[in-house]
A and B are shown apart, each in its own frame.
Chain A
Amino acid sequence: MIFSLNLLKKFVDLKDISLEELLHKLTFSGLEVEGVDHIAKGKGLVIGEIIEVNNHPDSSHLHILKVDEGKKGIKQIVCGANNVREHLKVIVADEGALIGKDDVKIIKSTIRGVESFGMCCSLLELGVDKSLLSEKQCNGIEELDDDAPVGEENVLEYLGLDDVLIEINILANRSDCLSIYSLAKEIGALFNRKVNIENCYVESTEKASYRVSSLSDNCRQFALRVVSGIKVGKSPKWLINALRSQGIRSINNIVDIGNYVMLLTGRPLHMYDLDKIKSREFVVRDDLTCNFKALDEKDYALEKGDLIVTDGENPLCLGGIMGGLSCTIDENSTHIGIECATFLSARVRKTSARIGLSSDSSSRFVKGIHPSNENETLHLTSYLLKEYASAKDFEEIVDYDVRNFEQSKIECTYSYINHRLGTSITNEKMDEVFLSLGIRIERIDEDKFIAYPPAQRIDLKCDADLSEEIFRIIGLNEIHPTLPITPMTLGGLSDFQHKKRVLREHLVSLGLSETLTYTLVSEEESNVCDLLTSTCTCYKVLNPMTVEHYYVRKALLPSLFKVVGYNKAHQRNDVAIFEVSSIETKEENFTSLGIVLNGMKKERGLMKQRAYDFYDISGILESILSILGINKSRIKILPLKDSEYFHPGRSGKFLLNNKLIGVYGELHPKYASQMDLQNTYALELNLSALLNLKTSNLKMNEISKYPFVTRDYAFTIKKDVSFAEIETKLKRQSSNLIKSVDVFDVYEGEHIAKGYKSVAIRITYVSNDHTLKEQEINEAETNALKVIASLGAELRK
C-alpha cells in the first residue's frame, strides 16, 4: 500500500528524522518499503500571473505571454496551451528549472523566431499521475486560484504536492497497518515519538429512529448513525490533496470523507441516502437469491450465502463489497445513514471472487479489519461531516453486536523470549518495547507476565507472537550467530537416495545430459508412450492455467521426446538425454527414469560417428543393472512385441515378479515418423522397483588358480532362438565347469537357410580346484553340444 508522508506526519511527529532513516527502520521492523516516489517534482518553480497574451505571428496555436513573476520580474514565455488568458495565475518553470520525475531541464529557447524564457506547466508535466487529474488538467496548463500568491517559489508546498509516497508491502499478519492511524502508532513505537490522534466525539442530537440487525453468523456487528442536514459539495483543498496523495480522486465532500475515514481508521464505511429507503430497518441477510444493481451500474446475481444489507426484504448493499445504485448518495442527499459493520473476511472473499467484483472496502475486509473501533470511526465521520458538509443533526448510534469480543491476553515469560531468540535481553528493555507498542504488561513474578495487546493488533495471539515483537523492534541487533547444540545426528542420503544419485551420475558420465521437464502436461501427452502405467489413471487439475499443463503426467518419455523435438528444431540433431522424476497416478507412485537417444553418437567428432542403435540403449540398461548388483536372472527380459510405440523386433520389456517395470528399444517407425523422431531409442524404467530390490552383500569370491580352456563352436539355429536362451540353457543345464559363454559372431544370409542364422560362441571351461584334464573337457563339451542341439542347433563343420 502507498502512504503519503504528509498525511502520516499529521499524526506522528517525524521532525529531524531523515527519509532514509524512516525507510530503513520500516523495512527492518517488518514493514518492507518497496518503493519511494514523489507525487510531483519541480525545482525552480514560481507562481506567476499572465499579464499579456498575444498570438504568435508564425503559428496558429502558439501564444506569446508576458508573465509577472513578482520579485523575479516579467518574463516572455511562448506557450502552446489553449487555456491561457490574461490574469490567469499559473505555475512557471523558469530557465534552469528541473521538472517532472525525469528532472527535465528548462532552457531558454527560440520558438519560431520568438524567444521564450521559461514554461507554463501542467500538473502532468510536474509528474502527477494522470489518473489523479481531470481531462481539463491533462490538456492544458494548471489554472491556479485567483488568490494564489504571485512570486511564491514554494509552489509544490502551496499546491500540497510536496509529498513523498512510500510504498510498503504490508504482510498478511499486519492488516492493521493498512490504516494511517495504526501505521502512525507503529512509527511512533519505532522512533519512540509522540502520536497525535485526537478522539473525535460528536454528541447525539436525536434519538435513534432506525433499527439494525443481522440474520447471518457471518455478520455479527452492524452499527449505523443517521446524520441529517448535510450539503453535498466540493471537498476542502486539504482533503483533496490528502486523498490525491493516497491515489484517490476527489468526488464530493461526502464520498471523500468516507474514503478519508477509511484511510485513517482502516474501517470501510458505507453511506445510504435514507430518503431513498422506505423502511426504517436495516437487516443483514445471507439467505437471498436475487439480482442486485451495484454502484457501478452493473447487475450481479447474488446467491445464498452472500451477505446482503437489506431494508428487511430488498437488497441495499452487497455487504463489505459495494453499495446498491438504488440508495446511493447524490448531490441532493441530505439525510444519510453511515454504516460501520464487520463482515466476515472469508465470506467477503468468496462472494467477491465469485462475482468478480472487488473494491477497496472488500479487500480490507478480506485482509482483516480493526475489531472494535466502530464507535470512534462513526464519531470521526460525524465530526468531518459536521465540519465540511454542514451536518446538523446526529442520531444516537445504533449497534447490533453479538460478538464475544474479548481482549486478547497472552501469558508469557521473559526467559521464553530470550530462549526462543537466542538472546539475553533484559526484562526492562522488553518492557520498553511492549510499552511503545501499546502492549500492556502485567507482571506475575520475576519472569512471568501477562500481555494485553491493543485491539487493532489482531495478529498477537500467543507467546511466540510476543517474541516476534521483541525480535523486530530490537532483536535484530541482539542476535548473534550460533550453531545448534543437539545430540549428534547421523546425516546422509538414504540407501535409495544414494543409489539414485549414483545412477544419475553414472548416466552423466556415459555422456548423457540430464533434463528437467514439467510435471503437468497436455491431454494429448498424458496418455501416450505410457507402457509402465497404461492401467493407471492420471490426476487432472481442476483449475489449469493452460491446456498445455493440465494433467499430472504418468510417463517421462513423452516429455523427453518433446525435448528432442525442441533441440532438433534448433539444429541440435544428436541428443542423448535422461531424467529421473517421480510419477504419481491415482493407483501408484514411483520414481521413474527415462532415457532417449537420437541421432548420431560422435565417437570421434565428425571423423567417426555412428547412429545410435539398439545395443546402446540395452547397454545402458545392463550397466544400470550391474551397478545396482541386480543379477539378470532375477528379471525376466522379453521381446516387446505388441506396442504401437516400439519397434516390434527391436524392443524389450522386463518384468520383476511378473510386474512390468521397464521398456526399452527403438521407437516404432510409424510412431517415430508421426513424432518426427526417426532413429530414436528410448527407455523408461520404474527405478523404485529396482532400487528397493534387496541385493546380496558384496563378498569376495575365490579366484581360480588353475588355467582355463576355451573352445569355439559355430552352429546354425532357428532365427528366433535368442542368444540369452542359449546362454541360460548352457549355464543351467550343462556342465558346471562352464565359466562363461560368449558370442562372437552372428550371421544371416548367403549359405544359411532362410529362417536360420549362424552363431559362433566361445565357451570357457575352468575348475576352481584342479587343472582340467582333456577327458573332462571333452565330456563337458559333449554335454554342452547336446544342450545346444536340444535347441535345434546344427554344428557347422
Chain B
Amino acid sequence: MIERIKELAREAEDKISSASDIEQLSKIQLTYLSKKSELMSFMSHMKDLAGEERAKFGQLINSVKQDIANNIETKKKLIEEKNLEEKLLKEVIDITLPSNNYDKGTKHLFQRVIDEVSDIFVGMGYQIAEGVEVEEDHFNFELLNVPHDHPARDMQDSFYIDETHLLRSQTSPVQAHVMLEAKGKGPIKIISPGKVYRRDDDATHSHQFGQIEGLVIDEHISMSDLLGTLELFVKKMFGEKREIRMRPSYFPFTEPSVEVDISCFECGGKGCSLCKQSGWIEILGAGMVHPNVLRMCGFDEKKYQGFAFGIGIERVAMLRYGVDDIRRFYTNDLRFNDQFHKE
C-alpha cells in the first residue's frame, strides 16, 4: 500500500512536470487530490491501522498530498508566468507609429505679439483699451494735434469713407477717447492694440497693419519715466541684455518726440545684416503727450503730463521671428502660420 502511494506520488510528479497548460494541471489535481481519487481512497484504511503505524501512514499520505498540491501550484504559477510572457510578446506594438492627435493649432503671430505685449503691460497695471476702426477724423487727427491743413491728413495717405470718416490710420484715436472718458482725471495707464490702415503697400508696408499704442497720464509723468518703462518692456520682450536709446524725432501729438532703438538682439550690438551694421534696431516711436492734446482731450495741461508710445506689431514680429515680408502675415499660408506653434 505504501509502495502504491509512493508510486502514485512519483507518477503525479512526472505528470505535473510534463503538464503544459492549466487545463492539464486541473486534470492532475482531479486525478490525485479529489476525494474520489485513488490516493484519497487510502485515507479510509487509516482506521484499520493503529498507534504509531497509523500516525506514520497519515503523515505519509498528507505529505504526498501536500507535495502534489505544492507542485501543482508551482507549476501553475510557472505556466501562468509563461502564458503572460507569451501574451505580452504577442501584444508588442510599434510605439513609433502615429499617435492619436491631441495637438493644438497655432495662434497667429500677429495676435501672439499682441498677447505678449498686453501681458507685459497688464503686469505693470495697464488696462487694454479698444476702439472702432471706422473712425471720425476728429479723433484720428484733430484731437491729436494734427490740424485740418496738415500734410499728414492728405487724402493720399488714408482711406477715407466720407468727408469726416476714415479707416483709422493709427491706434492713437483710442487715446483721445479714453482721455475724454476720464473727464480730466488721472491716472490713465492703457495700451491699445489694433489694426490700422494706410495707403501703402510693399515688402515692409502693408495697407493694413497693427499698432500697439501706450498712454500714461498723471501729474508727475516725465520723459525719464518713458525711458524707464520702455526699458523694462524691451528687456522683457527682447531679453535682459537689451539696451535702449532714444533719438529725437517728430510726431504732432508728442513733444518732445523720440524714436527708440534697441541694441540688436541678433549680434548684440556688434553689427550685422539685421541691424544694417549699426548695432541698433529702430523699434518704436514715443514722446511726451503734447499739451494741445491734453487740453483738447479735457485735461489741465498745467497739472497733468503724460507719455505715449506706439509699437508696430508686424515690425516687432518680423524682427523677432525673422519674417522677411509683411504680406506673409496676411496670406495665411499655413506652412508659415504653423511654424509659430511653440509656446
Contact = CB atoms under 8 A, between A and B. Distances in A.
Interface of A: 27-30, 32, 171-174, 345-346, 349, 353, 366-367, 419-423, 462-465, 467-468, 471-472, 475-476, 479-494, 497, 501, 504-505, 507-520, 539-545, 549, 552, 563, 566-567, 570, 572, 575-577, 579, 582, 584, 589, 602-608
A515 B149 contact: no
Nearest to A601: B101
A493 B221 CA distance: 24
A541 B161 contact: yes
A475 B247 CA distance: 11
Interface stretch (B35-43, B44-52, B106-114): B106-114
B337 A420 contact: no
Contact of B224 (A480, A575, A603): A480
A607 B98 CA distance: 8
B160 A541 contact: yes
B222 interface: yes
Contacts of A552: 133-134, 161, 167
Given A486-B221, A508-B105, A517-B332, A30 B122 contact: no
B214 to A, nearest CB: 11
A419 B104 CA distance: 50
B98 A513 contact: no
A492 B127 contact: yes
Given A464-B256, A464-B291, A519-B208, 10 more contacts: A462-B292, A472-B248, A476-B248, A482-B228, A491-B189, A511-B101, A514-B111, A520-B197, A542-B162, A579-B108
Interface string B99-141: 1110111111011000100100111111110101110000000
A511 B123 CA distance: 29
B218 A604 contact: no
Interface stretch (B67-75, B84-92, B151-159): B151-159
Given A171-B250, A516-B329, A484 B225 contact: yes
Contacts of A462: 255, 291-292
Given A420-B222, A491-B124, A607-B98, A483 B228 contact: yes
B316 interface: no
Nearest to A512: B105
B187 to A, nearest CB: 4
Contacts of A421: 222-224, 256
Contacts of B189: 486, 489, 491
Contacts of A482: 222, 224-225, 227-228
Interface string B27-69: 0000000000000000000000000000000000000000000
A566 B333 contact: yes
Contact of B288 (A171, A366, A420, A423): A420
A494 B197 CA distance: 25
B169 interface: no
Interface residues of B, number: 86
B323 interface: no
Contacts of A345: 149
Interface string B286-312: 001011100000000000010000000
Contacts of A508: 104-107
Contacts of B123: 491
Nearest to A562: B332
B111 A516 contact: yes
A517 to B, nearest CB: 6
A420 B305 contact: yes
B161 A549 contact: no
Contacts of B225: 422, 482-484
Contact of A520 (B104, B159, B229, B246): B159
A421 B257 CA distance: 11
A471 B256 contact: yes
Contacts of A605: 97-99, 101
Contacts of B223: 420-423, 471, 475, 479
Contacts of B291: 462-464
B207 interface: yes
A126 to B, nearest CB: 26
Contacts of A30: 247-250
Contacts of B5: none
B250 to A, nearest CB: 4
Interface in B323-339: 329-335, 337-338
A512 B104 CA distance: 7
B199 A484 contact: no
Nearest to A465: B255
B285 to A, nearest CB: 11
A541 B99 CA distance: 50
Contacts of A517: 330, 332
Nearest to A29: B248
A552 B165 CA distance: 13
Contacts of B103: 511
Identify which of B101, B115, B132, B155 gathers the most chain A CB atoms within 10 Å of its CB. Answer: B101
Identify which of A471, A488, A497 gathers the most chain B CB atoms within 10 Å of its CB. Answer: A471
B250 A519 contact: no
B330 A518 contact: yes
B274 to A, nearest CB: 18
Contacts of B167: 519-520, 541, 552
B253 to A, nearest CB: 11
Contacts of B121: 491
Nearest to A419: B222
A366 B154 CA distance: 12
